[in-house]
Structure 1
């Protein structure tokens, strides 16, 4: 802004006193002061508005960057999901093939039937003739 030193201010006051006279000088000073206040207030409001616009633009820029980062993370998550899906497909296919082969080879498994007579663990014996429970004497319940 305009720099006015004390010497320049005194010179302006003397010129105004000569031009306006002592009767009109106080009114002119009040008017000049009011005009100067209006200019400063106007300048401050313009400056504040520019700062607000800059802040809004900064927020918009940050939002755009955050959106780009979110898109990148979403793309990475999609790629990982595709890899997992491919891995499960690669594992599922051989398992399904093996299950299908087992069902076709064993009719009991294909029908999901349980054995006709369940084995009592106390009565089962190992191929060597020993009891399967690990006891050598008969079990007493």
Structure 2
């Protein structure tokens, strides 16, 4: 940049005063100031756009890197999945009895779950009241204070000696 000191600025001012004249000097100074301000704003805008473009380029590079990493992870996962499924298929072909045992155990589990639901429903709804009362199922809901009142020791009338 141009190195302007106080002495150089004073020399430029004296030369401008002599060349332009004292009447037109304030107008020319204002014009020079506005032109200098515009030039500075334009330079700042250009700098901002260049820095934005640089940031966008960096972001695009980062996006490409992330996409490549994601594709690599996806490929390795799919490859390991395929290897695992092939191993399972080969094991299943070697030992067909194991597949039927797993299938039977799955059927048995489903049957047990269905029986459990059926038994639970039978316990709660289809039993007669005398059976429920004999085996301890509640028929009526009683609040805690009502239960306490029922089991509280009753006060006896005072016994007189006379």
RMSD: 1.8
Higher relative contact order (CA 8 A, sep 6+): 1
Distance across 1 between alignment mates of 2:99 and 2:49: 73
Deviations 1:81-102 (A, max 9, x none): 11101110121101227879xx
Paired residues in the alignment total: 100
Distance across 2 between alignment mates of 1:91 and 1:23: 103
Q: Given the two structures, how large is their TM-score scaled by the length of structure 2?
A: 0.58
Distance across 1 between alignment mates of 2:71 and 2:36: 52
Partner of 1:132: none
Unaligned runs of 5+ in 2: 101-162
Task: Using the TM superposition, give the Cα deviation of residue 22 of structure 1 relative to its aligned residue in structure 2, in angstroms.
Answer: 0.7
SS in 2 for 1:17: helix
Q: Given the two structures, how large is their TM-score scaled by the length of structure 1?
A: 0.66
Unaligned runs of 5+ in 1: 101-141
Distance across 1 between alignment mates of 2:81 and 2:19: 86
Distance across 2 between alignment mates of 1:35 and 1:2: 17
Question: Does residue 1:67 correspond to 2:74, yes or no?
Answer: no
Once the two structures are overlaid, the 10-residue window that deviates more, 81-90 or 2-11, is 2-11
Question: Does residue 1:84 correspond to 2:90, yes or no?
Answer: no
Alignment of 1:1-141 (within 5 A): 1-96=1-96
Distance across 2 between alignment mates of 1:50 and 1:82: 48
